[in-house]
Amino acid sequence: MTISVGDKLPDVQLVKATGDGPQPVQSGDYFAGKKIALFSVPGAYTPTCSARHLPGYVEKADDLMAKGVDEIACTAVNDAFVMGAWQEANNASDVTMLSDGNGEFAQATGLTMDGSAFGLGQRGQRYSMIVDDGVVTELNVEEPGDFKVSSADHMLGQL
């Protein structure tokens, strides 16, 4: 079942990429008590993700914060080392990287995609959501191959 607006996020382990190395976090704890702009990419360093998706959130970080967002987070079915390197390579210090290395968060939300045709295996779909104290208040899932509703600009219009 796919997560919907009004649902509480599933409580699974993610790994936060930090300057001190990977730090395990429970999603239930991480999202509690904050308003978080979360976006998911099929993979760090993939074309649309690197050229448009992440840069949009980096560019609009101050605007999102000014509209009441406490934190911006990105998740992908990549390991924390890749997520940390991607963050550094894109000067994305305003975006918290949450590794979903085993795809458990993607599976628990029902937002998976099969990228096997491209050698990617099972991944998380491209989407964005606003999460307020662990509850999804906005959910924007892209159609395959699209990049419209999960952008930082679209999210700004929802806040």
Give the span between the Cα atoms of 102 and 91, in whole angstroms. Answer: 26
Supply the DSSP string of 73-106, one letter for each residue: EEEESS-HHHHHHHHHHTT-TTEEEEE-TTSHHH
Active site residue 49: yes
- Residue pointed to by tokens 């990105």: 74
Nearest to 1 by CA among 124, 75, 111: 111
Write down the catalytic residue from 3, 14, 17, 49: 49
Specify the 3-state DSSP secondary structure of 54: helix
- Contacts for 117 with CB less than 8 Å, ≥ 6 apart: none
- Tell me which residue of 75, 87, 93 sits closest to 12, measured CA to CA: 75
Q: Which residues are catalytic?
A: 49
